[in-house]
Amino acid sequence: MNASWEELVSAALVGAERRAVPPGSVLEQAAVQVVRGRAGRRPLSGRAPAPAPAETLPLAPRAAGDRLARLLSGEHARLLPEWLALAARREVRVPARLIPELLDLGARDRSIRAHLGAVTGARGRWLAGLNSAWSYLLAEPAHVPPGEVWELGTSGDRRAYLSRLRGEDPAGARELLERGWGAETPEDRAAFVAILADGLSMDDEPFLEAALDDRRREARQAAADLLTRLPGSRLSRRMAGRAARLLTDDGRGGLRAVPPKACDSTMERDGVRARPPAGTAQRGWWLQQVVAHTPLSFWAGHLGGRTPGQIVRLRIGDWAREVRMGWTRAAILQHDPEWARALFEVEPLTDLLAVLPPREQSDRAAGLVRDHPVDGQLIMMLGGVAAPWGPQLAGAVVEKILRTADAQPWNAGELIRLAGERLDPAVHARVEEVPDLAAVLRFRSDMSKELV
Amino acid sequence: MSAGLASVRRVMERWSRDQVLALAPDAASRKAAAGVSAAGKWSGTGALPEAVWGECRGSGATPYRTCVDLSEPAYRCSCPSRKFPCKHALGLLLLWSADGMATAASPPAWAAEWLDERRDRAAKKAGATAAGAGDTGAGHATSGPGGDDRAGDSLGGPAGDDAGGGAPEGGGPEDGGVRGPRPGKGRPAAEQRESRVTSGLSELERWLCDQIAQGVAQARQTGLADWDDLARRLVDAQAPGVAGVVSRLSRLLREEDWPGLLLGEYALIHLLAVAHRRTAELPAELRETVRSRIGFPVTRESVLASPPVRDHWDVLGGRDEEQDRLVARRIWLAGRKTGRPAMVLSFAPVGQALDASLVPGTTIDADLAFYPGASPLRALVAGRHGHVAAGPPPGMPLSQVPARIAEVLAGDPWADSWPVVLSGVTPSEDALADGEGAALPLHPSSAPPWRLLAVSGGRPVTVAAEWTPGGLRPLTTWDEEERVVPL
């Protein structure tokens, strides 16, 4: 008797006895069929995916690729973003075998995605097309030759293209944007408006004023933020008008603040958000936003020719906190170092440091490091100081590490980690008294030498 | 021939980081090794084509002295670690791999002494015939677990006799029946084993027929307990190979098609029991295959006494699998001239050193001694003549794989793993395809093979893979720079 495989399986399931076949024969026939099936299996017809496009970037040098593998295996893992940034700047691509691990990391960590777009090359995009978990990569800019990028590129490519054009020809970039504005997606519109920050001038004002009526809140907000940097803009003048009523000289060396009673539709159009975050008083929230969107240059004229340093020290009765937060936000939005400096003197907020030139950030931070104990706040402040740290800050931090290492090893550890990432790696030979720090800096120094 | 050998030794290429890390006994060691791979941790480092050495600053006052003989490779370190190779040896190799080490004229006295000792021993061994267990690179003291072969291990993996981890190691009569009763008075152990196996397997044959007679529909409810019990009895019957197969049956229940898969496995086990019952009718080679599948031990000595096969062997890749607190390491090789595949099996208790003498991606000039059988695969390294710089191994076209596998199964119908090197194949998410539109499916556990896809980019590559009845499991590929990429 010669049974089919299905018959054999069915006999085995219900029992050979019921089918009145000898069980030994079922097993023997099954053995023949299993081995025959394995030995006689023919290839299927199958098609491989279409090949990835050719690479346009050179491969990173071998030593650099090996170092990337070390970073991915957990050695100095915090330096991975720096490696990626260096590689993106040097316009090299990573070894293909490491791309899947990098894309997995990027799926969890947005902050490295922009660099991944550049360094994973054509192969990275090809893989992202095969695995939906990696599709985010297709929105990141890559080094693609210009030409038809604006028309056909991914949104990341188009953002990169617009940024570059804006740097060379600000009016050309804006006009390009205006031509196809209606057809852009809401996400793209918000991102494109933000790109106009570079080379911003009154020529952009009509376009931005029109964008205040955009359907997308992010696009409206981005336009409003930019218009406050143009003191001559219609939005700036409207805000100044509101601010003039809300904050006045009380004639006795102080200021009097009166928050708005309502948030009307014209305020909302100008970027004031009606609904406060949880736990914030509504009227104070509106006051803060009006101050934040008023050109800082307005205040000197409004308050009797006082300097920013004098203004921030004026006594304010009620709502003092909201007004100061508004100024702080304005200094950051409008990139006004003079106001940032004045506000920092009163309250050293990390966010204000970012507005100052790098060297000054570093020097002011050095003063704080010298005068304050190492605590979470100091570390957070230092976290906001851009790399590389200048010599003053470097000296202050190393001295602090040596002084805290014995008493508070945990705090010293945090400081060492941060310093390892932010100090200029070239100083590694001068910090040998902190071996852990020297090791990280040497690693970074080698890393940047390999990526040339 | 020997004059040519000296020159190939010289051109040995620096190993890649992946190759070094593949030597680590476990993930913790890989991590620890990275921690001591910085140049700052080391002093007095140096490298010759055949050895690297250095002193590593540890927590103690005196630095650890570490030396690696690259030709074998073998490791020596003065640290007290029980892991092998220790993190210092791996860290030193990583440093060397990253080009962080100057070439030296000669090693310091402490390293030279050990290297000379090794050379003397190797010379002595070469002088003698291929007898006895080879020094497979045990370094820490003299008795580190190198490629120690366990008594009675079967192709089915460690089970029964070996599972205790306390089986006698190397040499001696190979009856490791830790669970079975000791041999009776005056009756030779081998004879007693034969009769135990015979009665155990005839009981198994009856049990299988009963199962099929009654029907296996209840296997999902009763299988686990039944198979546990059956495996225990097979261990007592000194048939550890069959016991291993039975104890692994539970995996099938996870599959949708479990009735068919279970029938297939039962049928093959039944075939083995019948083959043993009718062993006298079998050709000699097939008889050896049957005996090794059942789990009869084969001594190292008898394997090493067979004529060795000398070739340039590409180390294709490996896989570690843990079972019963024992890790089994399989390393697959392929000979360049003979075209023969081979598999070197070693065991170590979890967390302890595994044989790290075969580095994936390298090519060694070596003598391999094969275990007997109708489709011989398992082998021992009987002698080494150094490394060869050879690049990616030659592969076969995909269209030849089915015929090759048919040949293997014709010799050994129980074969469920065979290494193949495929050239000119393009991976997709679930298969490897050739240029003619033919494709072989991947094992579901290996799909999608993202790293392989990344390296290939939709273009043909060379892939070393393990054939299994469930599909191919990629082991290794080579990238655009011809560097080895473990998968």
DSSP string, B222-281: HHHHHHHHHHHHHHHTT-HHHHHHHHTGGGGGGSTTHHHHHHHHHHHHHHHHHHHHTGGG
Instruction: Decide if B34 and A75 are in contact by the 8 Å CB cutoff.
Output: yes
A31 in Cβ contact with B268 (< 8 Å):
yes
pLDDT tens per residue across all 452 residues of chain A: 578 999 999 999 999 988 888 999 999 999 999 999 999 888 888 778 889 999 989 999 999 999 999 999 888 888 999 999 999 999 999 999 999 999 999 999 888 988 998 899 999 999 999 999 998 888 776 655 556 678 777 777 788 889 989 999 999 999 999 888 888 888 889 999 999 999 999 999 999 999 999 888 889 999 999 999 999 999 999 999 999 999 888 888 888 888 898 888 889 899 888 888 888 888 999 999 999 999 999 998 898 888 998 998 888 888 888 999 999 999 999 989 999 999 988 887 888 888 888 888 888 888 888 888 888 888 888 888 887 888 888 888 888 888 887 777 777 888 888 888 888 888 887 787 888 888 889 999 999 999 87
For range B324-341, the mean pLDDT: 91
pLDDT of residue B2: 41
Output the CA angle B127-B129-B134, nearest 5 degrees.
90
Please list, residue by residue across B383-408, b when 16 or more beta carbons sit within 10 angstroms of its beta carbon and e when fewer do.
bbbbbbebebbebeebeebbeebeeb
- How much helix, strand and coil, in percent to the nearest 5, is found in chain B? 35, 25, 40
Q: What is the mean pLDDT of residues B151-172?
A: 37
Report CB contact under 8 Å: A46, B431.
Answer: yes
Q: What is the pLDDT of residue A370?
A: 86
Longest dimension (CA), chain A: 113
A130, closest residue in chain B (CA to CA)? B429
Q: What is the mean pLDDT of chain B?
A: 82
CB neighbour burial string for B136-167, b if at least 16 within 10 angstroms, e if fewer: bbbbbeeebbbbbbbbbbbbbbbbbbbbebeb
CA distance A275 to B125: 86
Q: What pLDDT is stored for residue A166 in this prediction? A: 92
Tokens matching residue B309: 């096969």
In the DSSP assignment, the letter for residue B456 is H
Residue identified by tokens 């094969």 is B370
Task: Evaluate whether A353 touches A393 at the Cβ level (below 8 Å).
Answer: no
Compare all CA atoms of chain A with the CA of B470 and give the residue at the minimum distance: A38
What is the pLDDT at residue A379? 85
pLDDT in tens, B94-132: 888 877 777 777 888 888 888 888 888 877 766 654 444
B425, closest residue in chain A (CA to CA): A48
Residues of B whose CB is below 8 A from A9: 259-260, 263
Nearest CB to A12; choose among B263, B399, B451: B263
Classified as helix, coil or strand, B316 is strand
**Residue B472 β-bridge partners:** B442, B467
Q: Is B336 on the interface with A (CB under 8 A)?
A: no
The answer to whether the CB atoms of B479 and A95 lie below 8 A apart is yes
**CA B62 vs CA A178, B79, B107, B139: distances in Å:** 72, 10, 19, 20
Which B residues in the span 79-98 are in contact with A, Cβ-Cβ below 8 Å? 97-98
How far, in Å, CA of B107 to CA of A158, rounded? Answer: 59
Q: Is the pLDDT of residue B145 over 60?
A: no
Identify the three-state secondary structure at position A15.
Answer: coil
User: Cβ distance B414 to B272 under 8 Å?
Assistant: yes
> Nearest-CA distance from A385 to chain B in Å?
29
- How close is the nearest chain A Cα to the Cα of B170, in Å? 35
Residue A400 CA from chain centroid, whole number: 30
Distance CA B71, CA A272 (A): 73
pLDDT digits (tens, 9 = 90+) for B362-407: 999 999 999 999 999 999 999 999 888 888 899 999 999 999 999 9
Are the C-beta atoms of residues B445 and A37 closer than 8 Å to each other? Answer: no
Q: Look at A52 and B263 and tell me if their CB atoms are within 8 Å.
A: no
Mutant choice from B17, B263, B272, B274 vs A, greatest count of A C-beta within 10 A: B263
Round to the nearest angstrom and report the end-to-end CA distance of chain B: 35
* CA separation for the pair A107, B61 (Å, rounded): 46
CB B290 within 8 A of CB B282: yes
Asked if the Cβ–Cβ distance from B212 to A11 is below 8 Å, we say yes
Please check whether residue A352 is in contact with residue A324, taking contact to mean a CB–CB distance below 8 angstroms. no
Closest CA relative to residue A13, chosen from B263, B1, B479, B18: B263
pLDDT, one tens digit per residue, over B61-80 is: 788 899 998 877 888 888 87
**CA–CA gap between residue A47 and residue B437 (Å, rounded):** 6
If phi over 0 gives left and psi between -120 and 50 gives alpha, with beta otherwise, what is residue A145?
beta
Q: Which of residues 419-448 of B touch A (CB under 8 A)?
A: 426-429, 431, 433-434, 437-441, 448
- Counting one residue from chain A and one from chain B, the pairs whose CB atoms sit within 8 A come to 184
pLDDT tens for residues B165-200? 333 333 333 333 333 444 445 567 888 899 999 999
* B351 Rama class: left (phi>0) / alpha (psi -120 to 50) / beta: left
Bond into A23 cis (ω within 30): no
Q: Is the predicted pLDDT of residue B58 greater than 90, yes or no?
A: no
> In chain A, what are the helix, strand and coil shares in percent, each to the nearest 5?
65, 5, 30
Dihedral sign, CA of B283, B286, B292, B295?
negative
**B29 Cβ neighbours under 8 A, 6+ residues apart:** B83, B86, B87, B90
Contact A75 B35 (CB under 8 A): yes
The strand pairing partners of B103, in sequence order, are: B47
Please state the domain extents for chain A: 5-38, 62-139, 149-228, 234-352, 357-450
Handedness of CA B167, B168, B169, B170 (dihedral sign): negative
| CA pair distance A332, A131, nearest whole angstrom | 39
CB A155: neighbour CB atoms within 10 A? 17
pLDDT of residue B109: 86
Per the CB < 8 A criterion, the answer to whether B292 and B241 are in contact is yes
Instruction: Find the angle CA(A198)-CA(A200)-CA(A203) to the nearest 5 degrees.
Output: 145
Q: Which residues pair with B52 in a beta bridge?
A: B47, B68
**Within 10 Å of residue A192's Cβ, how many Cβ atoms?**
24
How close does chain B come to A67, measured CA to CA in Å?
Answer: 8
What is the pLDDT, as a whole number, of residue B187? 62
Strand duo A315-316 + A254-257: pairing: parallel
pLDDT at site A146: 59
Q: Tell me what pLDDT residue B151 has.
A: 36
| B181 Cβ neighbours under 8 A, 6+ residues apart | none
Using a CB–CB cutoff of 8 Å, tell me whether B450 touches chain A: yes
Spatial neighbors of A409 by CB under 8 A, at least 6 apart, are none
Nearest-neighbour CA in chain B from A111: distance (Å) = 23
Give pLDDT tens digits for B428-438. Answer: 999 999 988 89
Torsion, Cα B101 B106 B110 B112, to 10 degrees, reads 120
Q: How far is CA B160 from CA B3, B242, B298, B379, in A?
A: 47, 9, 15, 21
Closest CA to B145 of B371, B298, B326, B302: B326
Which of B:299-318 have CB within 8 Å of A? none
Distance from C-alpha of B210 to C-alpha of B214, rounded to nearest angstrom: 6
What are the two backbone dihedrals, phi and then psi, of residue A335, each rounded to the nearest 5 degrees? 50, 55
A100, B451: Cβ pair inside 8 Å?
A: yes
pLDDT of residue A348: 79
pLDDT given for residue B13 in this prediction: 63
pLDDT bracket for residue B3 (50, 70, 90): very low
> What's the rounded Cα separation, in Å, for the pair A249 and B89?
75
Amino acid at position B95, single letter: L
**Which of B16, B216, B441 shows the shortest C-beta gap to A12?**
B216
Supply the pLDDT for residue B451: 96
Amino acid at A312: V
Contacts of A442 in chain B (CB under 8 A): 38-40
DSSP state of B351: T
Token output for A295: 């050109």
Alpha carbon of B168: minimum distance to chain A alpha carbons (Å): 36
What does the pLDDT read at residue A141?
Answer: 67
Query: What is the distance in angstroms between the CA of the first residue and the CA of the last residue of chain A?
Result: 75
